[in-house]
Chains A and B, each alone.
Chain A
Amino acid sequence: MLEFRAMKIVEKAQLMSPAEIDRTLQRLAHEIVEKSGGTKHLALIGIRRRGVPLAQRIAQAMRGIDGVEVPVGTLDITLYRDDLSKVAPQAVLQSSDISFGVDGMDLVLVDDVLYTGRTIRAAMNGLFDLGRPRRVSLCVLIDRGHREMPIESQYTGRVVQTSDSEIIEVRLREIDNEERVVLVDRVE
């Protein structure tokens, strides 16, 4: 059971500057195009909330690579979570928006931080309700370890060693009005 107590949060380090975030996304876009062997069936699925602007930025970067136009969908995983009864009351639902058929597609899930892997498990359940993609891979800005599921990312911005009490906050201008990745720690 998660407890929401008032805890002091101390910022320990900045992990990425705006320029570093940008460079990382550029690299990830290149990697995805390269490893997918063509963009014909490629589509990005941003996981709400911070995966959405990241997916859009990667798609934008792909447009710059050789003018490839990759469709971007968004996925809200709330209904697929395995901890709905534990996270005190219901999280607010938001719409998923995937306007293309996923059958036979080469989908790349995009999220900000890979942690326990439970979000990605939920996202895959959601995706398979929409159809049968040919392949699903995962792209994250930060992999912080501590997996509780057999899930790994194929495209990783940066791997960061963290302790359990630490939190990685990805702050993006579209959502947070600032742009950086910071490592914070909880002090009881």
Chain B
Amino acid sequence: MGFRVGFTNPEVKEVVTYRFRDLLALEPLSAAELTFLLDQSKPFQEIQRHPLKKLATLRGKTVALAFFETSTRTRISFNTAASRLGADTMNLQAEASSLKKGETLLDTAFNLNAMKPDCLVMRHSASGAADYVAGRLDIPVINAGDGTHEHPSQGLLDALTIRDRKGTIENLNVTILGDLSHSRVARSNIHLLGKFGCRFTLCGPAMWVPRELENIAPGTAIRSVYKIEEAVEDADVIIMLRVQTERQHEASISANDYILGYQLNAERLKRAKPDALVLHPGPMNRGIEITPEVADGPQSCVLEQVTNGVAVRMAILYLLTAGEVEGGAAHPATQAVPGTPATHNRRATDRSTEQPISKGKDS
């Protein structure tokens, strides 16, 4: 069957497919590339519903998971995604790693790479860390969160969840509530959904909503407000953010004041559109930023996000590690599908442009 791929009828156009070398950020990706990534996650969503969820697609491949910053959900999600694709994983966790013994990030990365994994999934507290490592390794690097910069797989799984529930991610009113200054999730959400015409309202205590966020995505409508009632008015989607105590230098607002001013409760949710969705990247502080009745209510997508996270990460791992990547002998995949334009061949981010190590407000 694969044989015939090269000899398709010239009358029939080829399907658009994109090559990605790394996945470091959503900011540089086009709407078409993002749509491709979301579409490629669909078959993996189906696999989550199979009684037997294990594939052999990446059998023999090894995925290195390097979490220099603690993580539960994302690490388990990537681990599950890799094992469902049949890949093996090697795990590095901050507490147990030699980072504690003074090894540099790059040395740790080189050492992991010397064990010959086929790709590296990494999280680090420094913005730009994944980009820095990707430029120095010959294997694909997937950013699983770098400081306050981006968390691309979270942005993708949020968009997939919204698209499944709403049928579209175009032209929605998106409200992001909470600690925006430290949120890589918010930045990835803005960079993705902004390319589809979504309008953003950012809300939280003033010191957590830096005005420069309004300019991070030129062409995207972003406004900041400081009253939650105003922020949720007419919202299609409300994305809650966790209060990130580990990134704050001093206690800036008491839990009680936060609850009074910014907790999403059923009363406040009524101001949004009746079918508004509530998302939370987790872990939730129940009773602080969100009440249990909202978190467990019909508008909440919290657990769908987690399920979709595995599907999105399977798609990312599949796209980055299946097939012959080395040697540059890549040939554009040519599956014939009528009515679609010609094949593209480019990588997700251009490594020739070095990004600064620190982006946004680093902790």
Q: Which residues of A contact B2 (CB under 8 A)?
A: 2, 81, 83, 86-87, 91
- Given A89-B19, A93-B40, A131 contacting B51 (CB threshold 8 A): yes
Interface stretch among A25-33, A53-61, A150-158, A169-177? A169-177
- Contact check, A129 vs B15: say whether CB atoms are below 8 A apart: no
Interface pair B9/A88, CB less than 8 Å apart: no
What CA separation (Å) do A141 and B347 show in the bound complex? Answer: 39
A90 touching B7, Cβ below 8 Å: no
Closest CB in chain B relative to A141 CB, distance in Å: 14
Number of residues of chain A lying within 8 A (CB) of chain B? 41
The one of A88, A93, A115 in contact with B1, judged by C-beta atoms closer than 8 angstroms, is A115
Contacts of B40 in A (CB 8 A): 92-93
Q: Among A92, A131, A171, which residue has its beta carbon within 8 angstroms of that of B9? A: A171
A139 smallest CB distance to B (angstroms): 16
Partner of B323, one of A84, A118, A175: A84
The answer on a CB contact under 8 Å between B323 and A167 is no
Given contacts A83-B2, A115-B1, A175-B12, contact A92 B55 (CB under 8 A): no
Query: How many A-B residue contacts, CB cutoff 8 Å?
Result: 112
Minimum CB–CB distance from B210 to chain A (whole Å) comes to 39
Q: Which residues of A contact B1 (CB under 8 A)?
A: 77, 113, 115, 118-119
Measured CB to CB, the nearest residue on chain B to A122 is B1
Please report whether the interface of chain B is mostly helix, strand, loop or mixed according to DSSP. Answer: loop
Contact status of A96 and B333, CB under 8 A, knowing A81-B2, A84-B323? no
Asked if A149 is an interface residue, CB under 8 A from chain B, the answer is no
> Are B333 and A92 interface neighbours, CB within 8 A?
yes
Is residue A14 within 8 Å, beta carbon to beta carbon, of the partner chain? no
Please tell me if A160 contacts chain B, counting CB pairs below 8 Å.
no
Given that A118-B1, A175-B12 are contacting pairs, would A90 and B319 also be in contact in the complex, using a CB cutoff of 8 Å?
Answer: yes
A78 partner residues in chain B, CB cutoff 8 A: 43
Asked if A87 and B338 make an inter-chain contact with CB atoms under 8 angstroms apart, the answer reads no
Interface membership of B99, Cβ < 8 A: no
B324 CB contacts on chain A under 8 angstroms = 85-86, 88-89
Give the contacting residue for A169; candidates B6, B7, B46, B315; CB below 8 A: B7
Within the complex, the shortest CB–CB distance from B156 to chain A, in Å, comes to 15
Complex CA–CA separation, A100 to B355 (angstroms)? 49
| Distance A77 CA – B15 CA, assembled complex (angstroms) | 17
Within 8 Å by CB of B338, from A76, A92, A175, lies A175
Q: Please, how many angstroms separate the alpha-carbon atoms of A113 and B9 in the complex? A: 16
Query: Is B282's CB within 8 Å of the partner chain A?
Result: no
| Distance, CA A7 to CA B5, complexed state (A) | 13
**Any A CB within 8 A of the CB of B258:** no
Q: Are B6 and A80 in contact (CB under 8 A)?
A: no
Please report the C-alpha to C-alpha distance between residue A94 and residue B44 in the assembled complex, in whole angstroms: 10
Digitize B309-338: 1 where CB-to-A-CB distance is under 8 Å, 0 elsewhere.
000000100110011110001111101101
Q: Which residues in chain B, 283-316, are within 8 Å of chain A measured between CB atoms?
A: 315
Chain B contacts for A4, CB-based, 8 A: 5-6, 331
In the docked arrangement, what's the CA distance between A28 and B217, Å?
A: 58
Q: Contact between A115 and B43 (Cβ–Cβ < 8 Å)?
A: no
A89 touches B57 (CB 8 A): no
Decide if A88 touches B330 in the complex (CB within 8 Å): yes
Q: Evaluate contact between A87 and B5: CB separation under 8 angstroms.
A: yes
Q: Flag if A90 contacts B322 (CB, 8 Å).
A: yes
Chain B positions within 8 Å of A167 at CB level: 3-4, 7
10 intermolecular pairs with C-beta atoms under 8 Å apart = A2-B3, A87-B323, A90-B17, A90-B322, A90-B323, A95-B42, A128-B52, A167-B4, A169-B7, A171-B9
Q: Which 10 A-B pairs have the closest CB atoms?
A: A119-B1, A89-B323, A88-B331, A4-B6, A129-B52, A90-B323, A93-B43, A90-B322, A87-B2, A79-B57
Report which B residues bind A (CB closer than 8 A).
1-7, 9, 11-12, 15, 17, 19, 40, 42-43, 46-47, 50-57, 315, 318-319, 322-325, 329-333, 335-336, 338
